[in-house]
Structure 1
Amino acid sequence: IIADRLDANISDTAMRLLKDDPQTVRARIKAAEAKAGHFILKDYATGTLKPSAINRLLERWRSEGIILDLLAVDYADIMAAEYRSDNQIDNLRSIYIDIRAIAHDHDLALISATQTNRAGAAAHTAKMTDVAEDFNKIRTADVVIAINASEAEKKSGEARLTWVASRNTEDNFSLLIRQDREKLKFLTKVMGRV
């Protein structure tokens, strides 16, 4: 599924149309490769990936001369804690602290996603207090950006990115963006502050 999403985005093709003309999709992806950086995709079953496995993988790649700039974890909430507890909040706190330390040790940017609680899902704009399960995720992150879109915004291909928490910069502001969800393009244009 992730590979299909990437193919849709890179080839500028709607997900539902990927199989209609695979030669064109393949040609567009090949053309994009000429100006692209390296991308490595690893897939793990839900609840099996531990932070230590990420660290070992990064160390192995480093020994092979592969240094990452960005690590995207999709998503940290469904990783496995190094030492499982019966307390889900303890598990999440451990996961977030451990992957933050890995990002620091390997001098790379780390991005992940989490979900809002019911109040956040119903809100026009999610706030930092609307994070699901454990507020420690907010405390651990350097920057937390909420992705918000009303039904009207979704229909018009828009969304709002709201800086709900930031350790070292301004927060509590939103940027209006344009998206193309059918082609899995998260951001096609920044419209400005709202």
Structure 2
Amino acid sequence: MSQFDQAFQEQLAAHYLRDDVFVQSVGSLVLPDYFENETLAALVAIQKIYLERYGSCCTLKTYVQVMQRLIAAKKVKVADMLEAKRLLGVVHKDPLSDRQFVIDTIAEFARKQALTNATMGMADALDTDDDTKIAKALAAVEEAKQVGAADTAAAMNFKTSRIERQQKRAQRAAGGYTNGGITTGIPELDNQLTPHRGWGRKELNILMAPPKAGKTAAKITFGLNAARAGHNVFYASCEVSEEIIGERADACVSGVPLKELVKRQAEVDKAVEQWEQNPGLGEFIVQAFPIRTLKVSELTRILKRYEAQGITFDLIIVDYLGIMRPETVYTDKRFGLAEIGQDLRAMGTVFNAAVLTGYQTNRTGTQKAQRNVSDGTDAADDYEVVRTADVLMTINQSVDERAAGEVVLYFSEMRNAESGLRMRFNQNLACARFITGFVGFD
């Protein structure tokens, strides 16, 4: 017998129709669609309308009057009045002595029913073969997973959790606690990306730079470093092919310049083979998409297929945000780009992964990056595009710095770390190595 059978649903309806404390506590989790009995669902729908207007439960006599008026106004349909009468008798006989049990169980019930409904919607959408309907159905499934999350999540008691915070700080001081962060492979950079000591899970990290300033080299470098540390990495390239990413990754791993890969093939092969022997090496999977065709919903479906095969990703790299396609076509391009940023961050939450992407600076930002540093206000198109980011770092490099093989990362907008830092690194872009060593703070 199901935990949430008809008897439980009648018990739940009894509290929803009669128990003000229950309604005020968790009433928002009760929806008519969650009830399998059509008549019981209609009775809950009537109560929902009443509660939205009056904010509290009513007597059986008043409820019957409200039901009659709503049926007459054709706002609610009750197909079986005899069943409605029977069910009203059942729910009004309930002693309501099990309130806490129902409150403790409602979140799980609501999530299960929401997922059941969303799954049925997905099946219907797949039958239509309509990408828009499938995308909406997929979004409904992800939304259903979050139903009741706030009610089941553990709250923090500031006073009693003090010891736990002390222990975590001690672990950080010893370099043994990362809060689940994904390493950049550069200890000095990890140390500044607090509190995660790397890219934060469920966070959106954006590298912003002028064109041809090394955004792709940065993402390849950070992706390979994460894989070497044992993390699974998915790299979605919207700009260049899998083959080009593979060639740049070979150069990065081997330290052989891109233009010499063919001439020094044996050296490259040996270096890559040695890299593959690293114990606990994570996956580094690359898939390319035509420019301005990849939607976040499509990327989510791809990642779900890997998840079904038992492969979950810790770091999702998208190269890059500005050339993805929004779910909705907007007259103003800025709205679509802002939507992509928000959807990427939400995707990170769904997969408990860090999301790393890039974005272009505008003309002013390009000039500033060559003279000093650019910041979030220099985002191409509009600042709203990058406002969702938890980490926004800009890549800055003068002509002389590029010739000397140096680059400056500026911590522009940081949700959980210190903003305004300028970190200088050595690099070797000829080998697609975005960072080869730490120089110091500017």
Would you call these one fold, judging by a TM-score over 0.5? yes
Read off the aligned partner of 2:299 and give its amino acid letter: I
2:324 is aligned with 1:86: no
Q: Within the alignment, does 1:184 sit opposite 2:432 as a pair?
A: yes
Cα deviation 1:113-161 (Å, max 9, x = unaligned): 1011111100121021111112112210001000101111111110100
Distance (whole Å) between structure 1 residues aligned to residue 331 and residue 273 of structure 2: 47
1:164 aligns with 2:412: yes
- Report the equivalent of 1:67: 312
The one of 240, 262, 272 equivalent to 1:29 is: 272
Structure 2 partner of 1:102: 347
The answer to whether structure 1 residue 173 and structure 2 residue 421 are counterparts is yes
Tell me what 2:291 maps to: 46
From the two aligned structures, give the one with the greater strand fraction.
Answer: 1
The CA distance in 1 between the partners of 2:396 and 2:440, in whole Å, is 15
Q: Is the 8 A contact 2:338 2:386 kept in 1?
A: no
Measure, in 1, the Cα distance between the counterparts of 2:359 and 2:315: 18
2:251 and 2:258 in contact (8 A); partners too: yes
Question: Percent identity between the aligned chains?
Answer: 32
Please tell me whether the aligned partners of residues 51 and 98 of structure 1 are also in contact (alpha carbons under 8 angstroms).
yes
The letter for the 2-side match of 1:48 is T
Quote how far apart the aligned CAs of 1:20 are: 0.8
Structure 1 or 2, whichever has the larger Rg, is 2
Q: Following the alignment from structure 1 to structure 2, what is the Cα–Cα distance between the partners of residues 176 and 96? A: 27
Partner of 2:393: 145
- 2-structure distance, mates of 1:150, 1:16: 24
State the SS of the aligned residue for 2:286: coil
The residue identity in structure 1 corresponding to 2:334 is I
Aligned to 2:384: 136
Question: What is the number of equivalent residue pairs in this alignment?
Answer: 194
The CA deviation string for residues 58-79 of structure 1, in whole angstroms up to 9 with x for no partner, is 1111111101110110001101
Report the AA paired with residue 421 of structure 2.
F
Q: TM-score, normalised by structure 1?
A: 0.97
Task: Tell me the secondary structure at the aligned position of residue 424 of structure 2.
Answer: strand
- Please state if 1:126 is matched with 2:371: no
Partners of 1:138 and 1:83 lie apart in 2 by 18
State the SS of the aligned residue for 1:101. Answer: helix
The one-letter code of the counterpart of 2:387 is R
Regions of 4+ moved over 2 Å: none
Counterpart Cα distance in 2 of 1:43 and 1:163: 29
Structure 2 residue 253 is the aligned partner of structure 1 residue 10: yes
Question: 1: CA distance between counterparts of 2:264 and 2:422?
Answer: 38
CA contact (8 A) 1:51 1:81 kept: yes
Give the gaps of 5 or more residues in structure 2: 1-243
Is 1:19 paired with 2:262?
A: yes
1-side partners of 2:273 and 2:302: how far apart?
27
TM-fit CA distance, 1:44: 0.3
Deviation, structure 1 residue 24:
2.2
TM-score, length-scaled by structure 2: 0.43
**CA positional deviation for 1:180:** 0.7
Q: Measure the CA separation in 2 of the matches of 1:22 and 1:188.
A: 22
Structure 1 stretches of 5 or more lacking a match? Answer: none
In 1, distance between residues paired with 2:376 and 2:327? 26
Q: Which residue in the other structure is 1:114 paired with?
A: 359
Q: Give SS of 1:65's match.
A: coil
Q: Which amino acid aligns with 2:315?
A: L
